[in-house]
Amino acid sequence: MTVIKKADFIHSVADALQYISYYHPLDFIRAMGAAWERERSPAARDAIAQILVNSRMSAEGHRPICQDTGIVVAFVKVGMDVRWESDQGLQEMVDEGVRRAYTNPANPLRASVVADPAGERRNTRDNTPAIVYTEVVPGDRVEVILAAKGGGSENKSKFAILNPSDSLVDWVVKTVPTMGAGWCPPGILGIGIGGTAEKSMLLAKEALMEPVDLHELRERGPANRIEELRLEIADKVNALGIGAQGLGGLTTVLDVKIRDYPTHAASLPVALIPNCAATRHVHFQLDGSGVAELPVPRLEDWPAVTWEVGRNVRRVNLDTVTPEEAAAWKPGETLLLNGKLLTGRDAAHKRINDLFARGEGLPEGVDFRNRFIYYVGPVDPVGDEVVGPAGPTTSTRMDKFTEMMLARTGLLGMVGKAERGPVAIEAIRKHRAVYLMAVGGAAYLVSKAIRAARVVAFEDLGMEAIYEFEVQDMPVTVAVDSRGESVHQTGPAEWRIRIEEMHTSG
């Protein structure tokens, strides 16, 4: 009988979570590199290049790929012939591994988990508890799959119970555009079919843990209905032209992974969960011989992709920029931001809204007049860093606050990731403001443009506090101009037509 020691299990979980914070799975990197090579959209190709360069930098520097280091999901299969040398249950042991990983002083990971989710939403400060699924199976091993699931992609999960005669493919193709770009494509779609409502969701999440192998499937051809569905869905989703970061392009999904399960004759439950450009998961086994050993990838395994600022860029001084200057920026134009900008995301916006509702003003030292706000929750710095990885968060969550911020604070513009909704776009047009987009999934690369950082308000909110960043040549794209034109509408529309023309002519 195999004996698994508590210390070995906890140590392995902690090591694995650190490992996936800075190492992409190599199958994902290869697929992303292939997408970069075939991409014809300049904006999408630039975004993929930033993601790949960021990935290599994270692997070299052992710092998080994305500032959202995720909520931990653990799939644990315990062999029937295993005996535990532990005074704790599996949930407690996984949580201790999470705690150690996320508070590791050499590479602290952002604590994003909040307790009392429908009330106070108090940050647990160590990213516990994890989501743990356990299965008892034959054998004398413990098999563990760990994933760190970011909020931007998890929030785009979809579920439906279709009629048995409905087209699953049609539902997926109709649903993906409703997800916007907050899940940071190109990524992977996990689809669960059958079972019951909760079973299909679990199947979709488990499917995301499988290797990226769509290119191999294309080469050998499908062997069953599930493989046929994978190819059909991937082709039809990519034909939508959504592209990297929703800017329009050839590749929206790198792979489609599907798991199914028998279901009731009257039902067709379908779940859809995306993995983003910060796909993070790892698989290991424990056999009683000690801590799990994880293979260290070689830097040579990353594609030889470089990212440089192009010639046709506009440098912007954030300390002196005027509304008239911002009004001249064109949709899709690349800007390099220099100077000081403030940060703020969900919790900070709510607090500001509450202050105004009580007839109070902004906190002392916070002045948004003719300034920009960056939607971000950074990782804590280490060593000589002024801030840890600090990529953008999904901007649509701040849409309901946009009118308030533009009307009452004098804010000139916003920086975030993905598209803005109709309410926010109308507020931007009304107030002649602008919205700029940074690349999601390039957090470590973005952080290198931040030269100074200090907390100016709401320090108790941790990563959601208001910071002042001083940036140098921070790359962004004009996503919504002062007239309300959005590249997240025009880009995919253009590339949908181009892709159709390519297929017709080909």
For the chain, the domains span 314-491
Question: What is the end-to-end Cα distance of the chain in Å, rounded?
Answer: 60
Torsion of CA 194, 273, 294, 15, to 10 degrees: -120
For residue 366, give every residue at least 6 positions away whose Cβ sits within 8 Å of its Cβ, in sequence order, or none: 342, 456, 457, 466
Residue 311: Cβ-neighbour burial (10 angstroms; 0-12, 13-18, 19+): exposed
Q: What are phi and psi of 166, to 5 degrees?
A: -70, 155
What pLDDT sits at residue 310? Answer: 66
Q: What are phi and psi of 467, to 5 degrees?
A: -105, 160
What pLDDT sits at residue 56? Answer: 95
Are 331 and 490 in contact, with CB atoms under 8 Å apart? Answer: yes
Question: Which residue is listed with tokens 């830097």?
Answer: 299
Q: Give strand ranges (E) for 1-67.
A: 2-5
Distances in Å between the Cα of 308 and the Cα atoms of 34, 374, 405, 438 are 19, 22, 34, 15
What is the secondary structure of 200-217 as a DSSP string?
HHHHHHHHTTS---HHHH
What pLDDT sits at residue 309? Answer: 72
Whether omega before 222 lies within 30 degrees of 0, making that bond cis, reads no
What pLDDT sits at residue 505? Answer: 74
What is the secondary structure of 402-441 as a DSSP string?
HHHHHHHH---EEEEBS---HHHHHHHHHHT-EEEEPPTT
Are 134 and 78 in contact, with CB atoms under 8 Å apart? Answer: yes
For residue 166, give every residue at least 6 positions away whose Cβ sits within 8 Å of its Cβ, in sequence order, or none: 268
Answer positive or negative: Cα dihedral of 63, 65, 71, 72: negative
- CA-closest candidate to residue 478, choices 307, 262, 325, 340: 325
What pLDDT sits at residue 506? Answer: 62
Task: Specify the 3-state DSSP secondary structure of 124.
Answer: coil
Distances in Å between the Cα of 171 and the Cα atoms of 214, 238, 274, 472 are 21, 15, 15, 44
How would you write the pLDDT of the chain (506 residues) with one tens digit per residue? 899 999 999 999 999 999 999 999 999 999 999 999 999 999 999 999 999 999 999 999 999 999 999 999 999 999 999 999 999 999 999 999 999 999 999 999 999 999 999 999 999 999 999 999 999 999 999 999 999 999 999 999 999 999 999 999 999 999 999 999 999 999 999 999 999 999 999 999 999 999 999 999 999 999 999 999 999 999 999 999 999 999 999 999 999 999 999 999 999 999 999 999 889 999 999 999 999 999 999 999 999 998 877 667 899 999 999 999 999 999 999 999 999 999 999 999 999 999 999 999 999 999 999 999 999 999 999 999 999 999 999 999 999 999 999 999 999 999 999 999 999 999 999 999 999 999 998 999 999 999 999 999 999 998 899 999 999 999 999 999 999 999 999 999 999 999 999 988 76
Task: Report how far residue 384's alpha carbon sits from residue 389's, in angstroms, rounded to the nearest whole number.
Answer: 13
For residue 364, give every residue at least 6 positions away whose Cβ sits within 8 Å of its Cβ, in sequence order, or none: 457
Task: Specify the 3-state DSSP secondary structure of 62.
Answer: coil
Task: Specify the 3-state DSSP secondary structure of 479.
Answer: strand
Residue 489 C-beta-side C-alpha neighbours within 13 Å: 10
Q: How is residue 148 written in tokens?
A: 């760190």
What pLDDT sits at residue 5? Answer: 98
CATH of 314-491, one of 1.10.10.10, 3.90.1170.50, 3.30.43.10, 3.20.130.10: 3.20.130.10
pTM for this structure?
0.94
Q: How is residue 161 written in tokens?
A: 């119970």
Question: Which residue is listed with tokens 């799959």?
Answer: 145
List, as own/partner pairs, every contact residues 210-218 make where C-beta atoms lie below 8 angstroms and the sequence separation is at least 24, other chains included. Answer: 210/257, 211/25, 211/27, 212/25, 212/27, 212/28, 212/30, 212/31, 212/188, 212/254, 212/255, 213/27, 213/255, 214/31, 214/254, 214/255, 214/256, 215/31, 215/34
Task: Report how far residue 344's alpha carbon sits from residue 325's, in angstroms, rounded to the nearest whole number.
Answer: 24
- CA-closest candidate to residue 150, choices 284, 274, 12, 10: 274
Task: Report how far residue 437's alpha carbon sits from residue 465's, in angstroms, rounded to the nearest whole number.
Answer: 21
- CA-closest candidate to residue 497, choices 234, 179, 239: 239
